Amino acid sequence: MDTGGTFSDSVIIKQDGTFVTGKASTTPEDLEGCFFNCIEAASKKLGKKIEEVLSNTILLGFGTTAGTNALLTRAGGPMLGLITTKGMEDTTIIMRTVGRFAGLGIVESMHIAATDRPEPLIPRGLIKGVTERINSKGEVVIPLYEDEVRQAVKELVSEGVEGIAVITLWSFLNDAHERRIKEIIQEMAPNLTVTISSVVTPLIREYSRFNTTIINLYIGRPVRKLFSKVEDRLREYCYKLPLLVMQASGGLSKSDVVQPITTLHSGPVGALSGVEFFKELYGFKNCMGSDVGGTSFDICVVPEEGVKDLREAIVNRFHLRNPMREIISIGAGGGTIAYIDKLSGKIRVGPESAGSVPGPVCYGLGGENPTVTDADVVMNRIDPDYFLGGEMKLDRDKSYKAIKEKIADPMGITVEEAAYGIIAIVDNRMSSIISGTLGERGLDPEKFVLFAFGGAGATHCAGYSHGLRFDKVIVPPFASTFSAFGASTADVRHRYANSPYIVVYNLPFDVMTRNFKLKSLDDFPKYAIERFNQVNYNFEKEAFKDMADEGFKKDEIILEYKIEARYGGQLWEIVSTSPINRIESFEDIKTLIKFFENKYEELYGTEAKYPEGGFEIITMALEVSASAVKPVIPKKEFMGMDATNALKEKREVYFSGGFILSKIYEMNKLEYGNLINGPAIIEGIDTSLVIPPDRKVTVDEYGNMVMEY
């Protein structure tokens, strides 16, 4: 299950690995409703009732936007208080230098004086400082002044807060004070929800740690409420197993152990898992995913060496510390609004979206601003009578009128030219972000296969891949439900991270090679070795317990250790896998340091090495995963190139320069081997693949549509 900004999608995988998909409008005010509507839609395709399907289901994965919605809209968010170390009360108010323009678009960030800071989730008046201090070694320098804590709790309770976040300095090294503050709050106000940073995100860097802890508490209630309501109804339908939730760091986890913060932006990560699934299925080396939804255009790069994690993601203008897999997004999708810029008098498309309500003008739900979908309808790329298989009728006249009044007439051009302009501009924006993302990483599109999905991905992929020299563009027939499909391919995964802040100065080094030159294990401090080993031991203990709870044995799980290390005094670390999980011998420490030095040299060169500064391991992490039930896509029988059986009709479709009579094919009737030359459109129930005159599409053995020149 995946709830997107506009539509919710479900995929039901049968025992033989084949699957059916379902789609329903996302109802932000009732996310539980669209969850079950969607499963019902897919169940219907199986000819079964929802209770029949759910009672026989052995795994249910769920990607949700409940947390994202709560953060974006701030509607009904709880009133929260914060207790922190005295002197740190203004951390979220002052932010970091980049806090002011983090998450803004390029135009907004160029007019920084016209912007304002993001509104803090906890106002300054509800942030209380208490005397205590733990230092960077985890030692208590000043004990916790409990009377100050009691006074702070008393004041916050009298203000009417519904929850309290507790975040103290260096609590990731010693959480005693945070835990004691929590105990005091629970003694004094047992009904308050309390979150401590050492549980949510025991990681260094105050601003993002503060944000992560506060947002986790802020979105916690709506997210947990949704999980609880969904689970209650699932029980009614006799689904007795745990609900598994998609996480932004990739993978599924049980809803009762998942931190709400990890559900932010988890939808696009589901699609990324789907791209990884196909990469393995086809045996491709390099793939890229492109998802055009109603609101945003999301891309992910899946190169040979694997997907990167973002160290500090930005969500709704806030830096977060919890890891997320890298998804690049811009505001461009079917619901993206086109308008005339008042200042320049030029056509602009996005980033604002009409969302699902009111949605594009053609939906007839009150939308007045022309969108990308309206332009597609006017150009006859989308059949207004066959949207969602005919379940939803679109009003072409309304689209035409809106584009005429808001774009064409003010610009002095025809409605078709204006519609074409809207499409050309939005496709160009999407194309630019793809070429930029690959270009800046030094990657060549010719060595990549582009997967196009999302409700509008098939409609726009020819446009946004134009001129980019991709090896091929692949559109799955279930493109519009690809995120849900991807979530069904994900592994069960947990991630544990901690900042042990292992700082080692005065290590001997060779002045010529600039490499560390340790003579024995004694050159490395004993505390550092103990801390390194202890952190990984703690991770493993938690990991084995959590995976056992999920039903996996030790030999079924995969462990991946990570470190973030740097030379002493530097601001940022190198993130990489760790070659060792214990330091038990001189050989181990040599392996660890050599690994870091090689990685650093590879990135920055020999001369940039700085052994004079010492060696610091700032953060360590363990990722544990186990394979869940996966879909199987059976190979089809070759039926020849002739696609006449799937030919539905012919209609005039606007391509560059004017209307061209184009063949319209039924997606469901296409078979392996069928070849379709443009200009043509392949219509599915929930998506339309547009094939321009210079492209052709072949259906491959998995039923996917492969677009080439």
Site residues for another protein, 560-589, by CB under 8 A, read 566-574
How far apart are the C-alpha atoms of 617 and 336, rounded to whole Å? 44
Our finding on whether 441 is near another protein (CB under 8 A) is: yes
Tell me whether the omega of the peptide bond preceding residue 323 falls within 30 degrees of 0, making it cis: no
Binding mask 387-406 for another protein (x = CB under 8 A): --------------------
Our finding on whether 101 is near another protein (CB under 8 A) is: yes
Using CB under 8 A, which of 613, 639, 647, 706 touches another protein?
613
Supply the minimum distance, in Å, between the C-beta of residue 610 and another protein.
5
Our finding on whether 709 is near another protein (CB under 8 A) is: no
Using CB under 8 A, which of 17, 87, 366, 439 touches another protein?
439
Using CB under 8 A, which of 109, 186, 228, 538 touches another protein?
109
Using CB under 8 A, which of 58, 141, 238, 603 touches another protein?
603
Site residues for another protein, 342-381, by CB under 8 A, read 345-349
Supply the minimum distance, in Å, between the C-beta of residue 304 and another protein.
17
Supply the minimum distance, in Å, between the C-beta of residue 350 and another protein.
11
Closer Cβ to another protein, 138 or 614, answer by number:
614
424 touches 462 (CB < 8 A): no
Residue 338: other Cβ atoms inside 10 A: 26
Supply the minimum distance, in Å, between the C-beta of residue 582 and another protein.
27
Supply the minimum distance, in Å, between the C-beta of residue 441 and another protein.
6
Tell me whether the omega of the peptide bond preceding residue 358 falls within 30 degrees of 0, making it cis: yes
Binding mask 470-509 for another protein (x = CB under 8 A): -----------------------------------xx---
Supply the minimum distance, in Å, between the C-beta of residue 574 and another protein.
8
List C-alpha distances in Å: 690 to 134, 299, 478. Answer: 61, 20, 15
Binding mask 27-66 for another protein (x = CB under 8 A): ----------------------------------------
Binding mask 614-633 for another protein (x = CB under 8 A): x-------------------
Using CB under 8 A, which of 370, 421, 486, 684 touches another protein?
421
Closer Cβ to another protein, 112 or 142, answer by number:
112
Our finding on whether 94 is near another protein (CB under 8 A) is: no
List C-alpha distances in Å: 619 to 296, 505, 601. Answer: 33, 17, 20
As separate numbers, helices (DSSP H) first and strands (DSSP E) second, the chain gives 18, 35
Using CB under 8 A, which of 110, 142, 238, 632 touches another protein?
110
How far apart are the C-alpha atoms of 495 and 224, rounded to whole Å? 20
Residue 291 region, left (φ>0) first, then alpha (ψ -120 to 50), else beta? Answer: beta
Q: Is the dihedral of CA 370, 371, 377, 378 positive or negative?
A: positive
Amino acid at residue number 541: K
How far apart are the C-alpha atoms of 705 and 88, rounded to whole Å? 56
456 touches 690 (CB < 8 A): no
Selection from 152, 164, 214 nearest residue 190 by Cα:
164
What are the residues facing 664 on neighbouring strands?
649, 681
The residue whose two tokens read 């409700």 is 455
Our finding on whether 429 is near another protein (CB under 8 A) is: yes
Binding mask 316-345 for another protein (x = CB under 8 A): -----------------------------x
Selection from 478, 525, 526, 527 nearest residue 685 by Cα:
478
Residue 324: other Cβ atoms inside 10 A: 24
Our finding on whether 305 is near another protein (CB under 8 A) is: no
How far apart are the C-alpha atoms of 342 and 347, rounded to whole Å? 10
Supply the minimum distance, in Å, between the C-beta of residue 92 and another protein.
20
How far apart are the C-alpha atoms of 558 and 623, rounded to whole Å? 8
Our finding on whether 116 is near another protein (CB under 8 A) is: no
Supply the minimum distance, in Å, between the C-beta of residue 44 and another protein.
42
List C-alpha distances in Å: 399 to 362, 382, 419, 688. Answer: 5, 12, 10, 18
Closer Cβ to another protein, 357 or 413, answer by number:
413
Q: Which residues bind another protein (CB under 8 A)?
A: 101, 105-106, 109-110, 112, 311, 345-349, 411, 413, 417, 420-421, 424-425, 428-429, 432-433, 435-436, 439-442, 505-506, 566-574, 603-605, 607-608, 610, 612-614
